[in-house]
Amino acid sequence: MKRHLILLALLAVLTVPACAQNGLAVAQLFDGRYKDRAGATEVLVKGRQLKAYDLTLFRSLTLRATDAETRRIEQLVRTDARHAADKETAVRGGRLYYGFYRFPPADGRQRYLFYRNNALAGDASAGLTVVYLEGSATPDQLKQMFQK
Amino acid sequence: MTKSSSTSHWDKLVERYFEALTTEAEERRLRRFLCSPEGADPRYDDVRAVMGFLAVGRQTLRRPARVRPARRVRHWAAAAALLLLAAGGAGWWIADRQRNVCVAYVDGHRVTDTETVMRQAVEALDAVDRQLGDPTVEQQLNDMFHTLDADTPADAQS
């Protein structure tokens, strides 16, 4: 019995780091539902490849979404935006066009969420993109990353 | 018994020993004699050598053959060390696979080529990058206030 309790405690501790992203509403976008979808691109990078950028996790989803899907994804982003420590957004026609959000750190890691619906810029084929990042990179470092 | 008759007795016993006619008791008596000063005569060297060789052989046969415990412990220790090494290596490999992931799903196709995946990541970053010409929050607010000012009658502004 004692051994089972210790094992359960260990498992709980090990799963805490994995929950940093799962606490966000957008986490469900990366659960594999778009893996087989035509017109969708999902990227997952962890570890070694991101070290040079002071990041530990990179997740992105680019999708040519239907209007209903776009509204649902937008709602997920807006839900998470309520918990953001910093945000920068742009709206077009009442719809979320662009969002950059920084969340309170979890387990010592900074967390960022980017959203952009390029279809609102007049390019229906461009689709929307959601990017989630974790790591020690500061917002300034991310801006430099974008400018490269 | 005189010395010569005693010597003759032992010589006869040696002769009987080589003819395999001696009893166990006679052999014991002969062995004791050969270990004594009287039996130190060089003419008894042959029988002494044979009896010594046989005694060693007898002792070896009596002792049960068994694997030295130390060797068995070393075998188990080596096996345990190899098992731990293999388990450690496997565990490290699995942990490394879980820590370092680089994969993309493009149009339903799984891509693991690092260069291609990182290119997709850069494209995603480009897609969310706020481009020049996009209105900032400040610009949008300015637009809103200018719109309000334009709509408000001049005398209401003072």
Among A75-79, B40-44, B52-56, the minimum mean pLDDT is found in B52-56
Q: Do A48 and B100 touch (CB under 8 A)?
A: yes
For A65-101, the pLDDT digits (tens) are 999 999 999 999 999 999 999 999 999 989 999 999 9
Residue B44 has pLDDT above 80, yes or no: yes
Task: Please answer whether residues A135 and A46 qualify as being in contact, where contact means their C-beta atoms are separated by less than 8 angstroms.
Answer: no
Q: pTM of whole model > 0.95?
A: no
pLDDT for B158 equals 44
Integer Cα distance of A86 and B20 in angstroms: 109
- How high is the mean pLDDT of chain B? 79
Give Cα separations from B116 to A141, B110, B111, B120, B122 (angstroms).
24, 11, 7, 6, 10
Name every chain A residue with its beta carbon within 8 A of the beta carbon of B124.
41, 43, 60-62, 129, 131
Task: With cut-offs at 50, 70 and 90, classify the pLDDT of residue A121.
Answer: confident
pLDDT for A16 equals 45
pLDDT for A138 equals 86
Q: Look at chain B and report how many structural domains it folds into.
A: 2
Q: How would you class B145 by CB atoms within 10 Å of its CB: exposed for 0-12, middle for 13-18, buried for 19 or more?
A: exposed
For B34-61, what is the mean pLDDT?
Answer: 83
For A30-63, the pLDDT digits (tens) are 999 999 999 999 999 999 999 988 999 999 999 9
- Selected residue of B128, B130, B134, B142 to mutate for chain A interface (largest A Cβ count, 10 A): B128
Residue the block writes with tokens 């400018």: A147
Task: Please answer whether residues B59 and B79 qualify as being in contact, where contact means their C-beta atoms are separated by less than 8 angstroms.
Answer: no
pLDDT for B57 equals 75
Residue with more model confidence, A55 or B92: A55
Name every chain A residue with its beta carbon within 8 A of the beta carbon of B128.
98, 100, 114-116, 129-131
Which residue from A minimizes the CA distance to B120? A43
The structural domains of chain A, with segments of one domain joined by +, span 2-147
Residue A103 has pLDDT above 90, yes or no: yes
Is there a domain that residue B69 lies in? Answer: no
Q: How many CB pairs under 8 A join A and B?
A: 98
For B109-129, the pLDDT digits (tens) are 999 999 999 999 999 998 888
Is there a domain that residue B67 lies in? Answer: no
Q: How far is A41 from chain B (nearest CA, A)?
A: 5
A34: phi then psi, degrees, rounded to nearest 5: -105, 10
Is the reported ipTM for this assembly greater than 0.85?
no
The alpha-helical segments, DSSP class H, found in B19-157 are 24-35, 45-62, 69-99, 114-128, 137-151, 154-157
Name every chain B residue with its beta carbon within 8 A of the beta carbon of A47.
99-101
Structural domain for B148, as ranges: 101-158
pLDDT for A141 equals 83
Kindly give, in sequence order, each residue whose CB lies less than 8 Å from that of residue B18, ignoring residues fewer than 6 positions away. Answer: B47, B50
